[in-house]
Structure 1
Amino acid sequence: MGKRKICVVTGTRAEYGLLYWLMKGIQLDPDLELQIIATGMHLSPEFGLTYRDIEDDGFVINEKVEMLLSSDTTIGITKALGLGTIGFADSLNRLKPDILVLLGDRFEILAAAQAAMIAKIPIAHIHGGEVTYGAYDDSIRHSITKMSYLHFVTTEVHRKRVIRLGEHPSRVYNVGAPGIENIMKLPLLSKNELEQSLGILLEKPVFLITHHPTTLGSNPIEGTEELLEALNCFSGATMIFTKANADDHGRTINHLIGEYVSKDPNRRKFFDSLGQIRYLSLLKYADVIIGNSSSGLIEAPYLETPTVNIGNRQKGRVRPHSVFDCSPETSDIADAIRKALHYQFKEEHHYKIFGVGETSIKIIEVLKKIQIDSIAKEFYDGEIL
């Protein structure tokens, strides 16, 4: 019997960072063969052609699925989803993996899931059972759950939620969040190294700003202009921005940020992609992370950095006390930043709720040993233990 072929799909810089240790573990395991499909933002010059980061890390990309259009409208995203499904159908037919590993809730991953389901390839889904009311990612995530055979969730709350969706408890594993593994294992930069890499002095207070479209709202860029106005209340701060993702109206957000940064390039920087080491290092030295990224809820608390979470994009996610939720209004955002700057981390707040950094080891153990004779499933209506 040959090696079990495990195919991992990645479409964004952030997602790849979460998958890195799992991919490395599969690559080094004598019983497994790693296959990689790169897609989405990885292949876009606009977002830094980050597929090259994957190759620089010593991985071989087996297939590239081009699917992003120049449009970031709802029509453009829907057409990209269709293109992606066609591309994944061809790629999966060539690779013929034994298991397909998918993480999260983006439209690129939905395209991969659809193609794999029809091809009868078992899907192992990471980060299922979570809730984000402010984005259509929420529906995508639950849809992928129903197409998946194996489920690797990040907390006990999420395990029970996946089971409520009808998935059998024997196929749902609480393994913690993969992002925590990066914090435990990656050699983060010193402040001086980070300053040299970023080309800016990190004079306090340091703000890391990551703001994405709220795709289920009537105004996807809601909170963006208000955020920039609120930041004017902290004119002495060092502000590091990362690009919004490729969801609808992400380019509009990036344009607004670009104009804002250009007005004070000595104190503000805007990056297509920071990469995992620089991002986590900056998250460590930042006084607060601001925006609506899940990293503010999951990784930031482990580095003892408080979070200002704007609007509804992350509404419904489990979060610790170090997250300050606010409305997308200028005054509320400014008030939340002031509160976050004065927050003191205390052990009794139980902010480390996403495991202890052993996620990839637990996932690989299951991927190696699980017997999958058929992907046919019955809807589980039994007791949740």
Structure 2
Amino acid sequence: MRTIAVVTGARADFGIYTPVLKAIDNTPELQHRIHACGGHFSPVFGNTIDEIEASGFNVAEKIETFTGTQGSQEIANSMARGMTGFADVFSRNRPDMVLVLGDRYEMFAAAATALIFALPLAHIHGGELSEGAIDDALRHAITKMSHLHFVSSESHARRVIQLGERPEFVHVTGAPGLDNLIDIDWPGISELEDAVGLTLSPAPILATFHPVTLEPQSATAQIGEMFAALDEIQRPTVITYPNADAEGQDIIDDIDRFVQIRPWASAQPSLGVRRYFGLMRMAVAMIGNSSSGIIEAASFGLPVVNIGDRQRGRSHGANVLNVPPRRADILGALERAAEPSFRAELDGMTNPYGDGTAGTRIAEILRKIDLDPGLLKKTFHDTDVTTSTKDHACG
């Protein structure tokens, strides 16, 4: 039986992994070993390791990398602890393949360690862009360390190949997070209201704002502009905590102060997949700079006000309104997003990130792929250069 080490570092990536884990469970030739690390062990972010275990999945390895307050030094220290922890795990229990997802520094630590151990590495969600965050560089670096690529669209496949990866190892599977929407047990409004402590009528706004890591010291100012716009609306608003990034604690403190004196707003460290998607399903709009507003929201035809540069360059549907982090622009877009006429324009829209069957596709490829030396010994796949290098040549 082929063993897949699945690396998860936060609530968000575990929700995306869930359909893949279920598909692996349904494939007799495969078994997964969940390697949990990062913010899963932090009470600040809801001790989401408990959510994994409560969902029925066994956590095989617990690598405690989180270093508390998240500044740049702490992030770097977390990466170092991650490499040390994964080295210990891979030394005593070597998997057949390691599976990582996305662009987080926890994933980079696991990927770099797998590279040193000459372990086949598979990567989900390569080829995408988020040019306002360090995640963009981490994602592309993970692509170059990986041997097998599960991408969400044809354009992302072309970008991975442009990075020199061999086309036969690049598979367009779609975004596995969308699979969760196929057979979800949707929470009712009473459950959601009890969970967030608000009356969700009129339909709420769902807000998720993360640090823009390539714009240091900007977090408080940017989220302050979002709060100023929300103050003008004063509609039921559920605000989720950010990722464990540099300045993440600043955002958490800002959120807590904001909701403390506003009875129409609620702060949530972690909602879990069902409730988060349940809120997306009933929300009038989403606001912030989360990738869930780019990827999953389109499946609901949910209007999204995407603030600033964190997601710059990422493909998105017509439901996304991009604005700079200025209150007047945010307010104008939010008012537009809440108009029934705008929502009507989105009726029947197609999500560019897939059809909700990625998990089974990924599991089947993991089952069939030949783990011979030809997979590990990568060769660079050259593509035609269409941009002139004349003006950039040395000498």
Equivalent residues in 2 for 1:111-260 (5 A)? 111-221=109-219, 222-235=221-234, 237-260=235-258
1:104 to 102, 105, 111: 102
Relative distance call for 1:305 and 1:347 in structure 2 (3 A) is closer
Counterpart secondary structure, 2:343 = coil
Contact 2:184–2:274 (CA under 8 A) maintained in structure 1: yes
Counterpart secondary structure, 1:140 = helix
Contact 2:305–2:322 (CA under 8 A) maintained in structure 1: yes
Q: Give me the whole-angstrom Cα distance separating, in 2, the residues matched to 1:187 and 1:205.
A: 20
Structure 1, unaligned runs of 5 or more: none
Q: Give me the whole-angstrom Cα distance separating, in 2, the residues matched to 1:216 and 1:202.
A: 35
Counterpart secondary structure, 1:185 = coil
Greater shift, 114-123 or 211-220, is seen at 211-220
Q: Give me the whole-angstrom Cα distance separating, in 1, the residues matched to 2:256 and 2:69.
A: 19
Counterpart secondary structure, 1:378 = coil
Across the aligned residues of Structure 1 and Structure 2, the Cα RMSD in angstroms comes to 1.5
Q: Give me the whole-angstrom Cα distance separating, in 2, the residues matched to 1:57 and 1:279.
A: 15
In structure 1, the partner of 2:306 is: 309
Equivalent residues in 2 for 1:281-296 (5 A)? 281-296=278-293
Q: Deviations over 1:132-183 (max 9, x none)?
A: 1100000000000000000000011000000000000000000011111111
Q: Give me the whole-angstrom Cα distance separating, in 2, the residues matched to 1:185 and 1:357.
A: 10
Counterpart secondary structure, 1:302 = helix
Q: CA deviation at 1:211?
A: 0.2
Q: Give me the whole-angstrom Cα distance separating, in 1, the residues matched to 2:347 and 2:127.
A: 26
Contact 1:10–1:37 (CA under 8 A) maintained in structure 2: yes
Q: In structure 2, give the amino acid aligned to 1:229.
A: A
Counterpart secondary structure, 2:35 = strand
In structure 2, the partner of 1:45 is: 43
Q: In structure 1, give the amino acid aligned to 2:100.
A: L
Q: In structure 1, give the amino acid aligned to 2:286.
A: I
Q: CA deviation at 1:324?
A: 0.5
Q: Deviations over 1:356-385 (max 9, x none)?
A: 11001100110001002121100001469x
Q: Deviations over 1:208-246 (max 9, x none)?
A: 0000000011434051111111111112x0010100111
In structure 1, the partner of 2:271 is: 274
2:369 matches 1:370: yes
Q: In structure 1, give the amino acid aligned to 2:213.
A: T
Taking structure 1 as the reference length, what is the TM-score of the superposition?
0.96
Contact 1:321–1:351 (CA under 8 A) maintained in structure 2: no
Counterpart secondary structure, 1:344 = helix
Relative distance call for 1:349 and 1:166 in structure 2 (3 A) is farther
In structure 2, the partner of 1:328 is: 325
Contact 1:220–1:248 (CA under 8 A) maintained in structure 2: no
Q: In structure 2, give the amino acid aligned to 1:62.
A: A
Contact 1:288–1:306 (CA under 8 A) maintained in structure 2: yes
Q: In structure 2, give the amino acid aligned to 1:292.
A: N
Structure 2, unaligned runs of 5 or more: 386-395
Q: Deviations over 1:233-286 (max 9, x none)?
A: 112x0010100111000000110110010002x311111100000000001001
Relative distance call for 1:382 and 1:327 in structure 2 (3 A) is closer
2:362 matches 1:357: no
Q: CA deviation at 1:349?
A: 7.9
Aligned length: 380
Counterpart secondary structure, 1:232 = helix
Contact 1:321–1:349 (CA under 8 A) maintained in structure 2: no
Taking structure 2 as the reference length, what is the TM-score of the superposition?
0.93
Q: CA deviation at 1:28?
A: 3.1
Q: Deviations over 1:333-364 (max 9, x none)?
A: 11110111122244688441111110011001
Counterpart secondary structure, 1:195 = helix
Contact 1:9–1:109 (CA under 8 A) maintained in structure 2: yes
Q: Give me the whole-angstrom Cα distance separating, in 1, the residues matched to 2:325 and 2:244.
A: 21
Contact 1:322–1:351 (CA under 8 A) maintained in structure 2: no
Q: Give me the whole-angstrom Cα distance separating, in 2, the residues matched to 1:184 and 1:219.
A: 40
2:376 matches 1:379: no
Q: Give me the whole-angstrom Cα distance separating, in 1, the residues matched to 2:25 and 2:7.
A: 14
2:26 matches 1:28: yes
Q: In structure 2, give the amino acid aligned to 1:353.
A: P
In structure 1, the partner of 2:388 is: none
Aligned-residue identity in percent = 40
Contact 2:82–2:109 (CA under 8 A) maintained in structure 1: yes
Q: Give me the whole-angstrom Cα distance separating, in 2, the residues matched to 1:346 and 1:118.
A: 50
Contact 2:203–2:282 (CA under 8 A) maintained in structure 1: no
Q: Give me the whole-angstrom Cα distance separating, in 2, the residues matched to 1:95 and 1:242.
A: 36
Q: Give me the whole-angstrom Cα distance separating, in 2, the residues matched to 1:344 and 1:37.
A: 40
Q: CA deviation at 1:190?
A: 2.1
Q: CA deviation at 1:194?
A: 2.0
Q: Give me the whole-angstrom Cα distance separating, in 1, the residues matched to 2:106 and 2:173.
A: 24
Q: Give me the whole-angstrom Cα distance separating, in 1, the residues matched to 2:88 and 2:301.
A: 44
Q: Give me the whole-angstrom Cα distance separating, in 1, the residues matched to 2:115 and 2:223.
A: 37
